[in-house]
Amino acid sequence: LDEHEGILRVVTTTEEIQYLIEDNGMITSASMRELGTSANLYCIRLEDWQIAAQVIEFAPKGETVRSVRFDGTAAYVCTAVQLKDPVFFFDLSDMSNITYTDTGVIEGYSSSLVNFGENTLIGIGYGDSRSTLKIEVYAEDGGKVESLCAYERRFGFSEDYKSYFIDRENGLVGLAVSDQTTGNLKFRYILLAYNGYELVEVENVL
């Protein structure tokens, strides 16, 4: 969630359940049917706690919210079902006309979305499996968000945003990882530089 000019913005996963009443009038867990999940965006006025705008079920059925980044009048939302990942870009500049686009389906998903400067966003998360680290750079251009490049390795990593080193001015991102490619688990630190075209390793030390 985030506050901007008196508006509280919240993105949340929603879950739809159908309750089936049994012959004895009881509702039990066995009589409930899961209809699926999706995602909603709410914009709430702090002066009266009324909803100023909302976008209901913008993600496909089955999706859950994995990460969100608000940046002024923009919002970026990563949702996923298993290891498939659309990233949505919302234009919140006009509460009466909220628009959004998405990247389409990308392998994996970002557990953190971080402003990376110069109209770019960096996503840190998983690739095609839970044992693959994926760091992806996105750009917001003309009201849409698109993937520019990605770095993927079979590394374990922490999902804690505070454990990442982010240097926007110099286009650097660093984090500790566990190497899962050998029989002996080894921990190392990697530092990547974004050169405008790709993410390049500048440090990879044990």
What's phi and psi for 30, nearest 5 deg?
Answer: -70, -20
Starting at the earlier edge strand, list the strands of the sheet with 133-141: 109-117, 120-126, 133-141, 144-153
pLDDT tens digits, 138-180: 987 777 788 899 999 999 999 998 899 999 999 999 999 998 6
The yes-or-no verdict on residue 82 having pLDDT over 80 is no
**Tokens, residue 78:** 């990563």
**Tokens, residue 163:** 């454990």
What is the pTM for the complete model shown?
0.79
- Judge contact between 39 and 64, C-beta under 8 A: yes
pLDDT tens digits, 115-128: 898 889 999 999 88
Percent of the chain scored above 70 by pLDDT?
90
